[in-house]
Amino acid sequence: MATQPQKTLETFDNPYTNRDYHIHMEIPEFTCLCPKTGQPDFATLLLDYIPDKKCVELKSLKLYIWSYRNESAFHEAITNKILDDLVSVMKPRYLRLIARFYVRGGIFTNVVVDHRKKGWKQDPLILLRDFDHQSNFR
């Protein structure tokens, strides 16, 4: 049976709940439909989160993202919806989703949304000179 898109996000237990650590994902093949024209909109999604008790399972995330291919929505709405769905199943300490939509009519659109668990405070960032100059993080 062929794999099909789905709206179900699965999780697994965070193996290191005793520490904050950053998970970064880049999803370069996001597509949805423009609600005005019906034409496809293309985006790269950048997902960064600090898990609490749960992490998102990658195959379910892939199928979830695929499920938007034939849905029409404004960039702002779809980005917020994805964040809400991820927060709902994972309940992370922190989550940021950046949707970088490709040019449409001469305009690039970037939508940035985030969630912070009530009471969670980020530890100060420690910059390591050698790492910072060679980092692939954007």
CA 34 to chain centre: 20
- Catalytic: which of 13, 20, 34, 85? 34
Tell me whether residue 123 is one of the annotated catalytic residues: no
Tell me how long the chain is: 138
| 3-class SS of residue 132 | helix
Tell me whether residue 41 is one of the annotated catalytic residues: yes
The full DSSP string for 50-81 is E-SSEEE-HHHHHHHHHTTTT-B--HHHHHHH
Contacts of 40 (CB under 8 A, 6+ apart): 31, 32, 33, 34
Please give the torsion angle defined by the CA atoms of residues 117, 119, 124 and 130, in that order, rounded to the nearest 10 degrees: -20
- Catalytic: which of 13, 20, 32, 41? 41
Q: Annotated catalytic sites, by residue?
A: 34, 41
